[in-house]
Structure 1
Amino acid sequence: MNRRRPAPATPAGLPELATSRFHPWFGDLQRLSLWRMLTRLPALIATALRWSWKASPRDTLLTVGLNIAAGALSAIVLTAVVGILQGLFAQGPTPERLQAALPSLLLAGAAMVTRAALRSAAIWAQGRLTPMVERAVEVELVSLTTATRLEAFDDSDWCDQIHRARTLGVYEAGRITGYAADIATELISLLAVATVVTVLHPVLLPLLALTVAPVGWAAIRSARMRYARMRALSTSNRLLYMYTHAMTEREAAAELRAYAMRPMLLAEFARISDHVRDALLAVVGRQTTTRAVGDVLGGIATLATYAALVALLLAGLMPLAVAGAAYLALGQGKAALDRLMNAVNSCYESGLYLSDLLEAFDQARRRTPPAAGTTSPGPLEELRVQGVDFAYPAAEANALTGVSITVERGRIVALVGENGSGKSTLATLISGLYVPDAGTITWNGTDIADLDPDELHARIGLIRQQYHQWPFSAERNITMAAPGTADPDRLGRALRLSGADQVVADLAHGLDTPLDTRFKDGADLSGGQRQRIAAARGLYPQADLVIADEPTAALDARAEERLFSTFQAAADGAAVLLITHRLASTRSADWIYVLDHGHVVEQGTHTDLITHGGLYAELYGIQAAAYNGATPHRHTEEFL
């Protein structure tokens, strides 16, 4: 049998993306049947109404009530039209017939004006309700995601789910109530038409069904064809988005120019867009054929219906006025069913997005830590890590295994090791952002899981290796607090100790300068300037424990020396945990732990570790050789 070959997901030679994180349910839509759609609708609509009620009970009642009332008026309009026709086609002089039709004419006019007013009011209420629902679900989303455990964001599936919820679920949640109201309106309109035609003549109801059936079939076929097309082009459209983002956003602008990538990217972009265009053009014929079949079937059904009306009229079984009213009723029924099917399709699609959003809510609640401790941590005397294991989500091996270290007030403790040894992971665990899979981390003998997390974090100054520059002013990027709440003394101290005072002095508006060029008078900082701001952020709290994770990676030699002098000064009244690859800076540390593949393999002072001749001595020797001009002996196979 000759089967249609499915279109390729992407043009030849370009990478094929993984399953779409935006539309993971495309297969569900493509296999969708009308019965399955209708059986799911009540639950989707009920969920949408619950969120709408939570956002605004008044506007929910107005949206639903006004749409239902507008639909009910359709029955009055149709009944009045029947009265008009009966009056006009009655026996007698024309003035008397017009007088007989006048009450129905006034009723029809009043009903149509009222219906238009109700629909306008419903649109107003729905326009108010949509942003309220979007805000309600967005607030719920950010409230839940900001409370989840940090390691959840190391799970790619979780990140994809949150991305779908944020970009699509929130938007569709605001639209589904409108679709639900449209469904109610059109159902009432159809019920009104069915009621009127049944009263007019019993045979008209099956004729109505015969007339609207082809319309419903065509609507379902059209919707499924549209979904199939979306599924076929989803990968290419995602690639188009990626290429467009790379060519229009600042992040990639420098490398695009430096590596002369413009011709290549434009050519590949053209290939992808041509592929999308060709796929759209290829489906035009199928869509036209489907519409033509639907029109032909609809025309045949309509012709048969009108033929039946004429036969009834000629046989004297139906008055002329009733036949005219039936003609209008059948036309209204067809239009109402077409609108109903469109609303059902749209509601179901939005409902899938809403279901995905609610699943993200459930996942976030499951990933939220249990009730936080309430014990106050008190000033730090000793922090002890004992037998800690930790693995990232979906990782095959532990990032840390059986790690034990001690950090005491007034001492500088250094964590060193090669990339991937677990240094930053351990620092994140100590700061209370990750939860160990095994073992304990205690603050003055109390497990940090039992401590008040806000009070604990207030006693820790964290200078992260991967720091985030917020779209705030320079001051708020340091204090991480609301405007106008900074402690000027602590702020001035953090600026001096970190060297960020020099950065601020060069900004046009000083501490009030936004650190984002998307804002008016915003500034763009260099890597070293950003790192000084990050260091000031970690020093601002005057914490009991300062955790500095690669704090000098982007600093010049002078700034690096100044910052390490700062850590030595900070150790007079606090504990300092220093993570660094630059082993020259660890010579002043009171104690050094050497990590390798998640294990503590060495510990001691700088002198002890050099004398021992292990991994630390090897790494130190490699770095020292780079400065004194010597060439360290390395086995050739290490580079192969």
Structure 2
Amino acid sequence: MIWQTAPVWTTAWTLLLCIQGLLPGANVYLSKLLVDNLVVAMKAGINSESWKLVIFPAALMATVLLLTQLTSAALGIVRTIQSELIQDRITALVQEKSIAADLFFYELPEYHDRLHQARSNASGRSLSLLENIGSLLQNSITLLTMATILLPYGAWLPLVLVVSSLPALYVVVRFNRYYYQWWEQTTPQRRRAEYYDFLMTQIYSAGELRLFDLGDHFQGAYTKIRDRLRQETIQLATQQSLTQLAGSISALLIAGSTMAWMLWRLLQGFLTLGDLALFYQAFNSGQSLMRSALSNAGQIYSNSLFLGSLFEFLKLQPEIQDPPYPQPLSLPIQQGINLRNITFRYPGSQRAILQNFNLTIPAGKIVAIVGENGAGKSTLIKLLCRFYDPEKGSIEIDGIDIRQFAVKELRRLLTVMFQLPVTYQNTVAENVAISDIYSQPSCDAIQQAIRDAGAEEIIAKLPQGYDTQLGKLFASGTDLSGGEWQRIALARAFLRQAPILILDEPTSFMDSWAEHDWLDRFRSMAKNRSAVVITHRFTLAMRADIIHVMQAGQIVESGTHDQLIALGGLYAQSWQAQTETNSQLTLSSIN
């Protein structure tokens, strides 16, 4: 992924690391040369030859130090570029997978756990992994140069370096694996803590939070979770520190013993002061580098565990996919939509929302679906949009199962206003245009959609008209009431000139005056479209060509408004009850 994202910068990064890995060995060797030349110069006294002996290795050391600084600065720039590119790439991958995921994924806690794990660690861990790989490469190169320098003093010395660093590797691997297991197990608790924080800091719940005095309640719940997580984190860190301390003491004892052996060799006359300086720097650096290299290896292992969550998330495959050979769409729709013997239950649920369900939506007609809450009305929308596939049965457009169409092509046939429309924090024009954004709708088309939705008065009151920023998340934003947001969403649905129009409770937030005005124009707006309207309002349902009454996942009555009233069934009883309620309210207002 790193190579695919930034091949040029990764090549530059690798070369700079190799150079930086060789420079410390060169510096150590030059320090030996400088010390030995200083000893010779001190014996010879101050003269031009003595100065030459000292200046040459000193100049080379200065050059090496300068190169070290230059490569370090260059590496900093390259790492920043790499990290930004990789972070954006991983974020894009997570976003693409989230967009492609089936709607039912969002109803599974396991999916949210995986998404949380992928998002919370993906960028940071990937960058940390990149740093670990770079450090391991650089340290390994430097370590090899140090080992080469130490070999003349004893072939066993590089082995001592390895042995003295093994405790550090044990600590890193053991702790990181244990920490990863703890982190994975506590994901639900950390998500819940973030949820409580969201409730306390966002406008979504600000009203009820204050009205019901819920601040202390949610803060207490948040604190309880954080107290537990903090205590467990401190306990893990304490165990790691104590184990690291034991490993460091053992490494120090080994280093001290080796240094004592070198001093004994110096006193015996087998070594020079330059040899001792060289050995001290090489062995001390080698021991430090060995610990760092093994620590980097352990961190790579740890980060690979965490990044496993990212790649597990990226492996998720949606079940709603295009067929191998999609059928072409034929427009206009001639016959209509047929739902045949549909049985459907939501993933993880044993209750069938629809069972052997049948429904016909004739082409070019307005079909209203009414019924009690939970009857399965909104589920029909999800099936028609192919957010889900039925367990049994088929949904057909002009006799062709919608599973035979490409998913995007199918969804271009529909325009939908959902029961809880999204309140996009953009301008009015962008809010409306977003339903057909790739077609770049004209200002005239946007204005016509606003008129169709009966939202002209709303726009007239806004400070910048169609350019007004809606919502309060960004500067200079203007918020709308629920009914006003609904009419903006209604305009969004009308703008998209799709042959199938689906409206879920389009007037639920409208006052009676706005609803009456809109209903007078509804049939002309739905002209030449196959329209499905889900509603509890009989004033809207009576304008449909056919009304279907749903109860417990079945169509129990069908007909026009007059036919259903004459039938005297469930629809007629509900109509009578609503009429009596309205009459009583009218009399009360008069009195």
**What TM-score, normalized to structure 2?**
0.87
Specify the alignment match of 1:560 in structure 2.
515
CA shift for structure 1 position 217: 5.0
Is the Cα contact below 8 Å between 1:147 and 1:368 reproduced in 2? no
Specify the alignment match of 1:112 in structure 2.
65
Q: Deviations over 1:225-269 (max 9, x none)?
A: 876886798776555433333222222221111112234445555
In structure 2, the CA distance between the partners of 1:288 and 1:408, relative to structure 1 (3 Å rule), is closer
Specify the alignment match of 1:503 in structure 2.
458
CA shift for structure 1 position 219: 5.2
Is the Cα contact below 8 Å between 2:180 and 2:302 reproduced in 1? no
Give matches, 1:21-32, under 5 Å. Answer: none
Specify the alignment match of 1:72 in structure 2.
22
Give matches, 1:366-515, under 5 Å. Answer: 368-370=321-323, 373=326, 375-381=328-334, 382-451=336-405, 453-454=407-408, 456-480=410-434, 481-482=436-437, 485-515=440-470
State the number of aligned residues: 580
Is 1:82 equivalent to 2:32 in the alignment? yes
Give distance in 2, aligned partners of 1:229 and 1:461: 46
Is the Cα contact below 8 Å between 1:473 and 1:515 reproduced in 2? yes
Specify the alignment match of 1:302 in structure 2.
255
Is 1:128 equivalent to 2:78 in the alignment? no
Moved more, 187-196 or 289-298: 289-298
Moved more, 564-573 or 301-310: 564-573
Is the Cα contact below 8 Å between 2:21 and 2:139 reproduced in 1? yes
CA shift for structure 1 position 211: 4.1
Give distance in 2, aligned partners of 1:66 and 1:402: 68
Give distance in 2, aligned partners of 1:394 and 1:626: 40
2:416 maps to a residue whose letter is L
Specify the alignment match of 1:208 in structure 2.
161
CA shift for structure 1 position 482: 4.4
CA shift for structure 1 position 391: 3.0
Is the Cα contact below 8 Å between 1:170 and 1:357 reproduced in 2? no
Moved more, 100-109 or 132-141: 100-109
**What TM-score, normalized to structure 1?**
0.81
Specify the alignment match of 2:532 in structure 1.
577
1:510 maps to a residue whose letter is G
Is 1:529 equivalent to 2:484 in the alignment? yes
Give distance in 2, aligned partners of 1:622 and 1:263: 44
One of 29, 39, 44 as aligned partner of 1:93: 44
1:383 maps to a residue whose letter is I
Give distance in 2, aligned partners of 1:122 and 1:377: 58
Specify the alignment match of 1:39 in structure 2.
none
Give matches, 1:227-306, under 5 Å. Answer: 238=191, 240-269=193-222, 286=239, 289-306=242-259
Give distance in 1, aligned partners of 2:51 and 2:382: 86
Give distance in 2, aligned partners of 1:528 and 1:508: 19
In structure 2, the CA distance between the partners of 1:487 and 1:218, relative to structure 1 (3 Å rule), is closer
CA shift for structure 1 position 317: 4.4
CA shift for structure 1 position 628: 4.4
Give distance in 2, aligned partners of 1:467 and 1:435: 23
Specify the alignment match of 2:13 in structure 1.
63
Moved more, 269-278 or 81-90: 269-278
Give distance in 1, aligned partners of 2:508 and 2:38: 91
Is the Cα contact below 8 Å between 1:372 and 1:453 reproduced in 2? no
One of 514, 518, 521 as aligned partner of 2:473: 518
Is 1:360 equivalent to 2:310 in the alignment? no
Q: RMSD of aligned C-alpha atoms?
A: 3.3
In structure 2, the CA distance between the partners of 1:553 and 1:578, relative to structure 1 (3 Å rule), is same
Is the Cα contact below 8 Å between 2:171 and 2:244 reproduced in 1? yes
Where 1:363 maps in the other structure, the secondary structure is coil
One of 133, 137, 146 as aligned partner of 1:184: 137
Moved more, 191-200 or 523-532: 191-200
Specify the alignment match of 1:594 in structure 2.
549
Where 1:260 maps in the other structure, the secondary structure is coil
Is the Cα contact below 8 Å between 1:498 and 1:562 reproduced in 2? no
Identity %: 25
Moved more, 269-278 or 356-365: 269-278
Give distance in 2, aligned partners of 1:520 and 1:582: 37
Is the Cα contact below 8 Å between 1:592 and 1:606 reproduced in 2? yes
Is the Cα contact below 8 Å between 1:593 and 1:604 reproduced in 2? yes
CA shift for structure 1 position 210: 4.6
CA shift for structure 1 position 363: 0.9
Q: What are the ranges of 5 or more consecutive residues in structure 1 without an aligned counterpart?
A: 1-50, 631-640
Give distance in 1, aligned partners of 2:156 and 2:412: 79
Give distance in 2, aligned partners of 1:63 and 1:462: 50
In structure 2, the CA distance between the partners of 1:452 and 1:216, relative to structure 1 (3 Å rule), is closer
2:463 maps to a residue whose letter is A
In structure 2, the CA distance between the partners of 1:293 and 1:456, relative to structure 1 (3 Å rule), is closer
Is the Cα contact below 8 Å between 1:212 and 1:333 reproduced in 2? no
Specify the alignment match of 2:558 in structure 1.
603
Give matches, 1:324-339, under 5 Å. Answer: 324-339=277-292
Is the Cα contact below 8 Å between 2:427 and 2:467 reproduced in 1? yes
Is 1:172 equivalent to 2:125 in the alignment? yes
CA shift for structure 1 position 167: 3.8
Give distance in 2, aligned partners of 1:55 and 1:441: 42
Give distance in 1, aligned partners of 2:304 and 2:180: 15
In structure 2, the CA distance between the partners of 1:616 and 1:159, relative to structure 1 (3 Å rule), is farther
Where 1:146 maps in the other structure, the secondary structure is helix
Give distance in 2, aligned partners of 1:337 and 1:224: 21
